[in-house]
Chains A and B, each alone.
Chain A
Amino acid sequence: MLLLTWRNLLARKVRLMMSALAIVLGIGFLAGVMTFSTGLNATFENIVNGSTSDAVVRPAGDVSAANAGVATTQLVTPADIEKLSALPEVADATGSVDGIGSFLLGSDDKLVGGQGAPTLAFNYAPGENMQGEEILQLSAGGWPEQPGEITLDTSSAERGGYDLGDTVAMIVPTGEPRREFTLVGTADFNGGGTAGATLALLDTAEAQEIFLGGADAFTSVALTGADGVSQTELAKAADEVVPDGFAAVTGDKVVEETQEQIGQFLDVISIFLTTFAVIAIVVGAFIIFNTFSILVSQRVRESALLRALGASKKQVTRSVLIEAFLMAIVGATLGLLLGLGLSRALASLFRSFGLDIAGDVLTLTPFTIISGYVVAIVVTMVAAFVPARRAAKVPPVAAMRDDLVVQEKAMGRRLVLGTIAMLVGTALVAAGLVGAPGTDAIWIGAGAVIWVITTAVLAPVLGHPVLVACRSVFGRLFGTPGLLAGENALRNPRRTGATASALMIGLAVVSAVGVLASSLSATNDATVDDAFRSDFLVQMPTFQGFPAQYGDQMESVDGVDLVSRQQGTPVSVTVGGTPDQTFAAGVDPAYFEIYDLTMLEGTDEISGNQAVLSEGRADDLEAGPGDSIAVEFPGGKTIALEVVGVFEDTPTTAGITMPLSVLADAGLKRSDSSLSITVQDGADRGAVKQDLEDIVEGLPILSVQDKEEFKELISSQVNQLLYVIYGLLALAVVIAVIGIVNTLGLSVLERTREIGLLRAVGLSRRKLRLMITLESVAIALLGAVLGMVVGLVIGVVLRQSLKDDLTVLSLPVSSLLVFLVVAVIFGVLAAIVPAIRASRMKVLAAIATE
């Protein structure tokens, strides 16, 4: 029996390879995603572990200044470091000057690393990490030893197009913004790579000049413990002597904090990618189900023969399942290899975004390998189970009859069960919409999944009108071949439905995402229209801070009426007894002139230690006019602010808005994160804009935008994400198209006799090919139409549940039309091989086939 299964597999190599391809692609995607995520984690872990010393002396407080990307004015003096070095527990204390707000430019004067990871500029001082290894390792050249010298990380030097000895340009936060250095070496973190960050190592004196205004001081201290001193003992001893406003923490704690922050980001990437892998695998399951259904119906006679010769039902079922099992093994093996390649490709894609992942951490872990095989085997066996059972139900007498038809149950039961499932799905969605306990998205998601699956099950019934429409349109356009194609698509509704379902799932997700993206864009446009009150906005694409001198220069441009300065910062406030990290903004009086906030309570006139709150923030803090709130700033300083007003939520400022002077009092260095500029009446907007742009010319990342440009920027960000999602879904669609090729190929084989007959009575080769192509197009259209309808409904429902954030509903009509056209093209492409094969059949031989 095993022998027979094996022979069957070998005899149907091509067909099974096509089905196995669905597994290969699905598992390949999954394995690729898992390998990539593991590699990403390993990369960060290596860097974090390899770059952290035994203990660190840093500004005290919950809000970590370095991670928040803002600079504080608190400093450690060389005398403080002497004191630390003198401690018996300390083997070595190294002062660091960490610079915020510098940007490395490439030899083409563009920002190196795009908009992703930051440029970490600091002074070079040798130091050891927790494992006692050098934190930084030189890969070429040397370290910066005097002002004017710079050492970069290998990847940034490469991306910037710099060789040793070249002149390197960097934007720095004080003095002349563009500063030039000579590249003297390249180095990397111990542990490999920099995970996309740009490292710029400077001579200590020069770093102090650039970042600390020339003060002989440091922003933090890295401590190495003496032999036998634990991290805790080291930190405790150091904490006794550190200056006010600083604290000593263990390396383990720093690692833990960093990993917590990065971990969330990595988890999001991993879940995001895994979602698409799951979609691809589900689509693949449909293809497998379909292939086995067809194989089983083609093997009716063989199954009947086996039954007549004494095979039990179990044996027949098992032989089909073993076939599926072997296919899964082959598919998973190839898929894992593909996954390895895919992860490397993903890594190089991320590298182009600036996130460098070392190749040696991208390996198939045992967990990935086991997952790949388990998923492949389970999915394939489950998908093959129903066809296998059907094979066993073939009556033995069928071996002696010529009219071989597998008795199929009427669709009645399926229709009833499907309708019930639809209603259950609808009930879940409704529960989500009216706010049942728990997360709305989970209710709606569960309902949507049921909808999609039920649509797949009911596709033979739901698709009937679509196919009938195809038949009549094709008949009218293409005559008899069109009519025959329509008939062929209609003749086996289950098969057509199951084939189309694979495409349906892909397009349902695409359409739902399309609705959300389109609504997001429309909402953004509406928000910008409403909130964009100034003529120009000056900010960085990453919303980081930039030197205040630009704002100063812009105030004196001819034709400029008002320049509002805003500086953002992360802060910590107490919400319901626990500290909560949020953002605050310092603004100047001009802000209120330009934006005219809608005040719900109190006034917007703030001065001194006063603040206004957004409605949402005021609710969280349970504060109103007259109350006092304690706000902790980076660097650990806490300032009590008097609330004077509550304004209606707006995207133009943070939930806690205060005068710029408060930020200065809190010890934050002055910088701007956004400038809003209005033009005097009668001034030439174009000329003003040109003058403003001339000012930021030296800083290519800072842009002057009017309302339309700002809208475009935001929608291009939305679209970028949308295209990434479409790209990831493309795989599911490709698998679905393979399914169409497979079904069509098998149908052609099955209809050999009929095709021979059609050719004998005068159907030309060309028309035969047309007939098969049209059948394929009908299947593709069916999948596309069902998918779009389901996807639109799901998208609209999801938008409804997110109506607080997505205030405008917009349907992506033009995108949907494009999808429809793409579906037709895919249909045509899928038919190429089967059509050619059919048209090559010899007429006589085809008729003689039993």
Chain B
Amino acid sequence: MTEQPTGEAAPGVAASARDLIKVYGKGEAEVRALDGVTVDLMKGEFTAIMGPSGSGKSTLMHCLAALDTPTSGEAVVDGTSLGRLKDKDLTTLRRERVGFVFQSFNLVPTLSAEENILLPLSLAGRKPDREWFDQVVDAVGLRPRLGHRPSEMSGGQQQRVACARALVSQPSIVFADEPTGNLDSTSSAEVLGFLRRSVDEFGQTVVMVTHDPVAASYTDRVLFLADGVIVDELRTPDRDHILAKMAALQDAAIKKAAS
């Protein structure tokens, strides 16, 4: 994959935000979802973005993933600044350098598991790398289910298909939006375990939005957002630390609302 050099990207950075501001609505109804976020997401790291509802964590991810355009500021993915890109280039970037895992799986119901996994490649008109495909499929443990339609699989299996789909095009960065939000705890553990292994074994970069401290405890680094700004972060977090941080943020929000 060719790297487009831009002066601002530090080595080892997979994606970064510079002073990102995103405003929805106007006047009375104005909501500042992001209020000046600056952050670097490192290559080969599993990063979680956490925060109370409405803190702007999803918006941050959408802006970094080239799905949404910020009001101002700059988002850089894999050395490419998104601000100057046209729709066509954004499409190419999403196709070649970004992978997605959604909360509601978002598999195409009419396609089998294998066809769903290969969809990004077929959209790009690329031949799948069989060896890599096999490696990914075995990692998610879906070999016996490849011919099944989404409706014939459990939620956990569907989400693992979605994970495989995100990885099959060997993207620079995978964004996961509440990937365990619709799953029971066993399935959650399987999916998180897989994301963890993809970082450790394949050197993948994964960014995950979640409000589940258990999920966040699988990561290398947790960023805490509140009211559109990054207020804190934890390295190699454990569950109790995360819970404490979240509780503090929640309290602050309640206090703010009361005042």
- The segment out of A59-67, A71-79, A300-308, A543-551 that lies at the interface is A300-308
A305 to B100, CA, bound (A): 10
Say what secondary structure dominates the interface of chain B. Answer: helix
**A818 on the B face (CB < 8 A):** no
Number of A-B residue pairs, CB cutoff 8 Å, is 71
**B111 on the A face (CB < 8 A):** yes
Q: Is the CB of B88 within 8 A of A309?
A: no
Q: Is the CB of B120 within 8 A of A309?
A: yes
The smallest C-beta distance from B163 to any residue of chain A, in angstroms, reads 14
A313: chain B residues within 8 A (beta carbon): 87, 91
The smallest C-beta distance from A295 to any residue of chain B, in angstroms, reads 13
Residues of A254-312 contacting chain B, CB below 8 A? 301-302, 305-312
**B115 on the A face (CB < 8 A):** yes
- The segment out of A1-9, A637-645, A733-741 that lies at the interface is A1-9
Q: Do A396 and B94 contact each other (CB < 8 Å), given the known contacts A1-B123, A3-B122, A7-B111?
A: yes
**B6 on the A face (CB < 8 A):** no
Q: Is the CB of A4 within 8 A of B111?
A: yes
The smallest C-beta distance from A759 to any residue of chain B, in angstroms, reads 24
**B244 on the A face (CB < 8 A):** no
Q: Do A310 and B123 contact each other (CB < 8 Å), given the known contacts A3-B115, A302-B108, A396-B67?
A: yes
B108: chain A residues within 8 A (beta carbon): 4, 7, 302, 305
The smallest C-beta distance from B133 to any residue of chain A, in angstroms, reads 16
Q: Is the CB of B111 within 8 A of A311?
A: no
Q: Is the CB of A397 within 8 A of B62?
A: yes
B94: chain A residues within 8 A (beta carbon): 307-310, 396
Q: Is the CB of B67 within 8 A of A310?
A: no
Q: Is the CB of B109 within 8 A of A399?
A: no
A313 to B87, CA, bound (A): 9
Query: Interface extent on B, as a size class?
Result: 20 to 34
Q: Is the CB of B106 within 8 A of A305?
A: yes
B124: chain A residues within 8 A (beta carbon): 310
B103: chain A residues within 8 A (beta carbon): 400
A174: chain B residues within 8 A (beta carbon): none
Q: Do A400 and B96 contact each other (CB < 8 Å), given the known contacts A302-B108, A310-B120?
A: no
Q: Do A308 and B67 contact each other (CB < 8 Å), given the known contacts A4-B110, A10-B110?
A: yes
Q: Is the CB of B122 within 8 A of A312?
A: no
**A11 on the B face (CB < 8 A):** yes
Q: Is the CB of B87 within 8 A of A310?
A: no
The smallest C-beta distance from A5 to any residue of chain B, in angstroms, reads 10
A306: chain B residues within 8 A (beta carbon): 119, 123
**A348 on the B face (CB < 8 A):** no
Say what secondary structure dominates the interface of chain A. Answer: helix
**B45 on the A face (CB < 8 A):** no
Chain B CB within 10 A, most for which of A306, A309, A311 = A309
**A315 on the B face (CB < 8 A):** yes
Q: Do A3 and B120 contact each other (CB < 8 Å), given the known contacts A310-B96, A311-B91?
A: no
> Hey, what's the 0/1 contact readout for B169-180 against A, CB within 8 Å counting as 1?
100000001000
B120: chain A residues within 8 A (beta carbon): 309-310
Q: Is the CB of A310 within 8 A of B106?
A: no
Residues of B105-127 contacting chain A, CB below 8 A? 106, 108-111, 115, 119-120, 122-124
Q: Is the CB of A11 within 8 A of B109?
A: yes
B104: chain A residues within 8 A (beta carbon): 850
A850 to B109, CA, bound (A): 14
Q: Do A310 and B91 contact each other (CB < 8 Å), given the known contacts A4-B119, A397-B67, A400-B177?
A: yes
The smallest C-beta distance from A845 to any residue of chain B, in angstroms, reads 14
Chain A residue nearest in CB terms to B125? A1
**7 A–B contacts from the bound complex (CB under 8 Å):** A4-B122, A11-B110, A301-B106, A306-B119, A310-B95, A396-B94, A399-B100
Interface residues of B (CB under 8 A from A): 58, 62, 67-68, 87-88, 91-92, 94-96, 100, 102-104, 106, 108-111, 115, 119-120, 122-124, 165, 169, 177
Other A-B contacts than A306-B119, A309-B119, 6 sampled, CB-CB below 8 A, are: A3-B111, A4-B119, A8-B110, A305-B102, A310-B124, A397-B68
Closest 6 CB pairs of A and B: A310-B95, A7-B110, A397-B67, A11-B110, A311-B123, A309-B120
